[in-house]
Each structure stands twice: as structure tokens, then as C-alpha cells.
Chains A and B, each alone.
Chain A
Amino acid sequence: MRPVGNRRLLPHEGVLDQMRRRPVTGVVALGASLALALAACGGANTSSGSGSSSGGATYNAGVDKIYNPSSTTGGTLRMAHSGDWDSLDGADTYYAYSWDFFRLYGRTLTTFSPAPGAPKIVPDLAQSLGVPSDNSKTWTYKLRPGVKFEDGTPVTSKDVKYAVERTLDKDTFPNGPTYFNDFLDLQGYTSPYKDPTPDKLGLKAIETPDDQTIIFHLKQPFAGFDDLAQIPSTAPVPRAKDTGTKYKEHVVSTGPYMFQSNQLGKQFVLVRNPNWSQATDPIRKPLPDKIEVSLNVNAEDIDNRLLAGDLDVAVEGTGVQPATQGRVLADPNLKKNADSAPTLRNWFTAINADVAPLNNVECRKAIEFGSDHTGYQNAYGGPPGGDIATNLLPPLIPGSQKFDLYNFNSKPTGDLDSAKKALQACGQPNGFATNISYRAERPREKALAESLQQSLQRIGIKLTLKPYPQGDYFKLYAGKPDFAKKNNLGLMTYGWAADWPDGYGFLAQITDSRSIRAAGNTNLGVKLPAVDKLLDQAVVETDASKRDAIWPQIDRQVMEAAYYLPGVWSKTLDYRPPNLTNVFVSNSYNMYDYLSLGVKK
């Protein structure tokens, strides 16, 4: 009988009935186990292939201090990213790792000082910080003389103006921040690509009276403009070399490194910029000769390569994967090379006052009191994932103060008595039912939602879990007030990190009621006129200490109204291979400071 054409044997056919329980299968299983054990134990290849061992390595040696300080130049710094780069073009980038890395090839008007400790804005391309006038509606900067592009062309104020003009074009550069669109007095200006003036410098909101001077005219006062001036949008762009959406394929450098090659989606390599001058740059001390960044590398493979010494930096700066975290913390040889870095992020849950009965503040307070805060922390990986947050502002934000209105510290698993009293006060003595949304692709948010479901059940609040795709979470679901109300989303989990370490950068987008729109919100329901007023007061306050004193006031008002259930002031577990030098966690970017790193050759 001939075999019939296309019939495919199913996996079990002809195999299982052949198998006998013989030692051979046991040998195979044993071999696999041995392989697994071999792979699992011994983790990092710390004694071979990864450079000399670091006798002084200790856990958190890179937090608030420099580990392995060195001024030795040379070598290649090897970095990897698990996805594609955000954008190398300063006009179109909005990720912290990209802004941290950008300083290697781009100089902005101001920047964060590459030093451990509290974040500090310092002049970079500019000779000094901005000079405000007209009640902080006008900001003037003088550029340092002698700064050049990689081809030797001098940088002028017009190049900075052109760079900022480009960032206004959100058709061409949709992903970058919109701060300059929001703050500059545009008078209808949209893009240099639609600019009828011959030199494409028609934006009246920026003046360049001479090659070294640039003046910004804002439509409203903003005392923190120096913070805006550090974003990559202000890195100069030569108009003759601007190729629009293709500019990211070769960004013209003003920093100590320039692009040698850029294979989109695969790898890019930076080498020293011969036209960068130390004399014009008191901030940078570029150590490596070369920087290689590989893209779209498997995240688990990145961790394995870090631990084996085959890679120097996981450039995204979000810490090792959860499985690797367990390995690192359990092995003293690995743990000594790790840093638990605090970040500017708070993982919290919005309590939606648009959904009854949460329109009553006492019902919202019941959730604050009744939640299991230890459970919240455990959902995010326990203490290594971050500290229990008792209010909104992360401790790294200048001016932040810790306070505890709902007994998170004294009763970390929940203050059930106070919760029940609050329920009585809001007319729901037996609790109520509502839905909790979370991002479906995030297992920690799911774990958190389940934890809240269990803990609030104790006081009669029944939560139904509602997962939504993270890509559309703010645009179509939780961030769309009509949808949230219609679908009874009383609780919405997410988190927020400041665009820069400043109270405005953290609070504005999540507490200003005027930022609420039809969709795409990150303020999921805070409507307090007093908070709006405090924000307005802060943006015009030029005295930094007075401005910083306003942020905790906003924090307290929002917490008293119980619009957010704070969860965790997050931390990341970063791993520094022993061959890295000059390593410290930047409190500005909450990852290693890429401007300072060196490698042992």
C-alpha cells in the first residue's frame, strides 16, 4: 500500500507507542537538566573575558557616588537596546535614555550636569543659564564661541533657531515633545518647511540679533525655561544638511562623538568628533574612543551578555528583566555589581471622580485607607521594585516632601476601620462595585489589579478587572473620559515619570485640569481650581526655592481630595559590568549617566 499524498503524521503518531520507559529517555532528561544547571549556576563570567575584577565593587556603589572613577581614555563602549531607537533626531525623541545618550553627539543650550547627586541644570552650548526678562516671558542666551559642527562649520544662533523651528512641525516629527509648540508665541508659524522666507527663519518668537545671541519670546511666563532648553530640540541643526524625516539617519554632531555608521533598526556606531573642542566644553570628558549601539536585541540576551561581560550597558536604562533580577540579588558576586536606582516615577492608580459613587471624596478615601500597600509594592517586585509611596511626588524631585494622610506606613496592609468609616460617610456602608483598568501587556499591573481586588473586597468594594491594550490605553480607553465613564472605570492603574526632575515636569500633566481633553489624557480626572492656581503661580516664580515649595502644596491638595492612590516610588535594578569605569546613576535621567562612562581596555 502506497502512502497517501499529503497526509501528515500527528506528533503523537508512531512515537509514543514506540517509546518504552527505558533509561535512554532518562538520560536525555538528565542531560537537559545538566545543561540548565550549567547555564543557571555561575551566572556572570566575572573572572574571565570581562576585564579585571573590581575589588571595590559593592551593591549600590553607583548610587549618589561614582563607582570606579577613571580618566583613562580608549576602548569601545558596547550598548544594546531591546527594540528600535526612539529617534536620533533631537526634534523627534521623547525617551529618557535617548535624551541621556543624545548629549554624546548633541549640545543643547543647557543640560544636566553629569555628576551624581541632586540634578543640576548647567549651561552647555550657552555660556550661562538663560537671562529672563519681561516677567519670564523672554529668555536670552549667549552661545559659547568656537563651537563647531562635525564638518568644522561654526555653530551660530540661527542653527539653534532652525532646530527649534523644526520641532514645531508635528506632521514631520510627530513623536517629540510639544513644549515649544505650547510655550512659544508662534503667531501662526507651523514649520520651516512651509516657511516662505528665504532662510526659513521666519519664526518671530525667536530672535537671533547676532551669531551668538538667541532670544525666546513666550506667550506666557515660564520661570523654568532653562529646563526646557536642555531638551534635544535645542541642539543646532545646519539647514543645508537637513533632510527632514531622514535626518535621523545622520545627525550632524556638535558633541564629542559623531556617527560613523547607522544601519537603521540594527546598529549605529559613534567615533570621536575631530571638530569638538574641550576648550569650548567644560562639562564633558569623553573617555571611550568608540561607542557601538546594537538595536533589537532580545531583552533576556541583553541581560545574559551583561552578566557575561559581553556587553557594557543596557541602554534603555529600565533595569534588568525580572528573572535576572532574582539571579542578581541572590548571588553576592552579581549583586555587588548592581545598583538599585530610584527614579522619577510613581506607579499609582487614578480614582475616577466621574464614576459614581467615587464622585464623593469619602468613597475615594475609603479606597486610600482600604488598599493593601504592601500588596501594591509586591506587585511591582517587592522592595527592589521601589518604596511604598505615601504621596505623589517622587523623593528625587526637588522640593518633594513625604507625608502620609492615610496611614500607609503605620498600616501597610490597609486601615480597614478608617476605610469603613469613610464608606459610612459616603453613604455606602456595604461597599460598592466598580471596574479597574490596567494595561493588558503589563503583568505587574495585572498583579496590582488583582491585589487591589482582593484587598478592597475586605471592605465590600468589588472590583472587576478590565485589561486594555497599552498602545491605546490613554488614547482610546482610560485616557478618554467618555469611555472611562461609560465603562464604569472607577480605578485606572498606570504610572507617571517626570520629563525632567522638576515639580512642573511631574505634576503638570497629571494634575492640571486644563490639560484634560477629549482623549489622550494623562490627567485622568483631577479637577481642583486651587491646584491650577498653584501651578500658574509656580511657572512664573523665578526663585527656585519658592517654586520648589509650591510642589508639595499641590501634592497635598491632590492627596487630600484622594484623586490618586499612590503605589510605589519606583526603582530599577541596573547592572554594571566590572569593566565599566566612571559609573554613577544620574538622578536626572534615572539610569547610568552615559556622558561619563568609560571602559577598561
Chain B
Amino acid sequence: MIAYIIRRILVAILLMFIIIAVTFSIFFLVPRLAGASSDDLASRYVGRTAGAEQIHATAERLGFDAPLPVQYGRFVKQLFFGTDYNLGPTTEHCPAPCFGYSFVNQAPVWPDLLDRLPVTISLAAGAAVLWLLGGVSIGIISALRRGTVFDRASMGVALAGVSMPIFFTGLLLLTIFSYKLGLTAPGGSYTPIQVNPARWAYDLILPWVALAFLYAAGYARLTRAGMLETMNEDYIRTARAKGLPERRVVLKHGLRSTLTPIVTIFGLDLGLLLGGAILTESTFSLPGIGKYAVDAVTNNDLPKVLGVTLVAAFFVIFASLVVDILYAVIDPQVRLG
């Protein structure tokens, strides 16, 4: 197990370097292949009335005039060893891990990411709890009550949940519950959990519900389908014949077998969300990683894009590793390595 984990971590690190290299290439190699010069790239980061001299100076300041491998090397170096940044009257040291400074507003990227990470984690974790509990519960009940009104209604709502985009449900929820009824917090509300846990939950209840509604649907259907298949197995019949309580038959024997695909998807979904729930954060104006990513891409702000890419990749890779380890826990027949 330990050797397996170490191998996976090393592969993950290699993967991160490759991801950075690919992102670098997209931003710099592709425009160069299209004929853009370093001044052309720098012209995105100057004011409206900037002259040729200013554009060229900006190209030098941002390092665009260096060959691509050199730029990549500089980024990796500052990531591990930090760098000094000219603020104007003074110089500031950016300690490792240093993701650089925004090309647009010259703010350091890593502190920004750290500041926004709790928002995204809060959003993802809370919604994950809701969608997992809700989705799996509904799936179990639907499977056990197959063909009933509950089954049909829940699958219908599940279909609605998957079909309706988050920016629609989110704005609708805000309009009704926040602005008409005044029951929930308006958009843009976020209180850190350490400041006021109750307020934190109050501010996030609508985004949680909106996001959970979207995901719970898939989990409900997945659970239902898995349970339907499993509950018809011979060993389930045997368990019942032995006189085990129905709850134990369903939860310990039936659900356990169904959990494997659910865990897989949950890990990937959560990992992706931790990299930034872009639409949800944009809809509810939450200052998380997702919104940060949208702004970074829109403004061609490479340091921010690289920062978000690394964070997102880390979470996906980490979640994938955790999921694989959990397999061994859920299913003793699975051996890692």
C-alpha cells in the first residue's frame, strides 16, 4: 500500500509539470505559431493609449522576449525558490511556492488562491454532503419502491435537476428565497466559518442546494440502477433467507456493492469542484477559485491561469488517489499495486 501511494504521488508530480508545460504552450506557443510577436502578447497588458515603447518595455518586464523554455524554467524556479518583484518604490520577495504576480493587477497569485480556497472548499464540501446523502437516499428508496409514485416523482425531479443549468436554478432560487421572501442571504454573501459558523451555513445554503440539486440527480439514478441490479442477486436472496433484518440486507449487503461506482464518481466530482465550481460561484457571486479562473482566462492573465490549473489538477489527482485507496477499504477483494 505504501509503495503504491508513493508511486502514485510521483506520477502525480510528473503530471503536474506536464500540465504546466501544456498550459504554457497554449498561452505562448500557439500565438507564436499564429505569428504574434512578444510585443503583440504584451499589448494585452498595457493601457489603451500605450505606445510602442511602453509595449516593448512591458514585453521585457513580463519576460515575453525570452524563449519559451526559458520562461517555463523561470516559472518552475520561482515556484520552488521564490522570486523578487518590483513594486515601484520597493521590492517585495515572493516566497515559495511563488506563482508569480497577475499580469493585469500585479497582485500575487498564491495569496489570492489561498484566500479563495476556503470559499470553494466550503461550497464543494457542503454541496457534496447534501448531494451524497440526498442522492443516495433517494436512489435507495426509489430502487426499493420501484414503480411507485415516489419512484417516478423522484426520477422526474432528478431529470429536472440534471437538465436545468445552475445559472438558471441559482438565479431563480435567489429571486424567490432571497429577494422576494427574504429567507436566505443575497448573492455575494460569504462569512468564513471561523468567524461565524451559523452565518457561514446561512450564506451558503442556497448555493449548496442549487449545486446539490444538479449532482444529486445523477447519484440518485446511479444508486437506483445499482441497487436494482444488486438486490436481485442470489446472495441478497440468501441473506434474506437467513433471516437478516431488511435494513441490514439493504445497507450492508446491497448498498455496499453499489458504492464502488458512486465512490469513483464522487471522488472525481468533488475533485473537479474543488478546482473551482465556476458556474455556481459566478451565479452566486462567491469569491472562490472558480470565479478567479473565469477572470484569469478572460483577461489572458497567465500567472492566475497557471495557479488555478495547478490547484485544480492537484485536487483532481488527489481525489483520484483517495478514491483508489477507498476501493480497498470498501471491497476487500481489490488489491492496490
Given contacts A242-B89, A301-B171, contact A6 B47 (CB under 8 A): no
Interface string of B143-163 (1 = CB under 8 A from A): 000000101110111111010
What's the Cα separation between A20 and B55 when bound, in Å? 64
B156: chain A residues at CB < 8 Å are 19, 24-25, 28
Q: Is the Cβ of B260 less than 8 Å from the Cβ of A5?
A: yes
A581 contacts partner chain B, Cβ-Cβ < 8 Å: no
- Write out the residue numbers on chain B whose beta carbons fall within 8 Å of the beta carbon of A171: 54, 57-58, 61
Which residues B234-273 have CB closer than 8 A to chain A?
257-258, 260-261, 264-265
- Neighbouring A residues of B305 by C-beta, 8 Å: none
Does B194 sit within 8 A of A, measured CB to CB?
no
A80–B110 Cα gap in the complex (Å)? 26
Whether the pair A245, B106 counts as a contact (CB closer than 8 A) is yes
A45-B180 CB under 8 A given contacts A1-B233, A244-B88: yes
- CB contacts (< 8 Å) of B295 on chain A: these are 83-84, 296
Cα distance, A80 to B187, chains bound together (Å): 11
- Would A178 and B49 be within 8 Å (CB), given that A9-B222, A38-B176, A301-B171 are in contact? yes
Q: Are A472 and B106 in contact (CB under 8 A)?
A: no
Give B324 Cβ to nearest chain A Cβ, in Å: 10
Hey, what's the 0/1 contact readout for B39-50 against A, CB within 8 Å counting as 1?
010011111111
Task: Tell me, in angstroms, the Cα distance from A42 to B175 when the chains sit together.
Answer: 11
A518 neighbours in B (Cβ, 8 Å)? 52
A333 in the interface (beta carbon within 8 A): no
Q: How far is the CA of A36 from the CA of B300 in the complex (A)?
A: 37
Using a Cβ–Cβ cut-off of 8 Å, how many residues does chain B contribute to the interface with A? 78
- By the criterion CB–CB under 8 Å, are B287 and A265 in contact? yes
Chain A 1-29 near chain B by CB (<8 Å), digits 1 or 0: 11101111101011100111010110110
Q: What are 22 A-B contacts defined by CB distance under 8 Å?
A: A2-B233, A3-B257, A3-B258, A9-B225, A9-B261, A15-B221, A18-B155, A35-B176, A45-B179, A171-B57, A193-B88, A243-B89, A244-B87, A294-B285, A296-B285, A301-B187, A304-B174, A308-B180, A471-B299, A475-B44, A519-B40, A520-B43
Least Cβ distance of B176 to chain A in Å? 6
Residues of B within 8 A of A509 (CB): 49
Q: Which residue of A has the minimal Cβ distance to B142?
A: A18
| B291 and A170 contacting across the interface, CB-CB below 8 Å | no
- Mostly, the B contact residues are helix
Residue among A15, A297, A298, A305 having the largest count of chain B Cβ atoms under 10 Å: A298
A2 with B257: CB separation less than 8 A: yes
In the complex, the answer to whether A8 meets B88 with C-beta atoms within 8 Å is: no
Q: Flag whether A300 is at the interface (Cβ < 8 A).
A: yes
Interface size class of A (residues with CB under 8 A): 35 or more
The closest CB in chain B to the CB of A174 belongs to: B46
Q: Is B196 among interface residues, defined by CB-CB distance under 8 A?
A: no
Would you call A330 an interface residue if the criterion is a C-beta within 8 Å of the partner chain's C-beta atoms? no
**Does chain A have a CB within 8 A of B283?**
yes
In angstroms, Cα B188 to Cα A83, docked, is: 12
Q: Give CA–CA (A563, B176) in the complex, Å.
A: 51
B residues in contact with A13, CB < 8 Å: 221, 225
* CA of A15 to CA of B88, assembled, Å: 62
> Once the chains bind, are A264 and B107 in contact (CB under 8 Å)?
yes
Interface presence of A49 (CB below 8 A): yes
Most B CB atoms within 10 A — which of A18, A177, A474, A476? A18
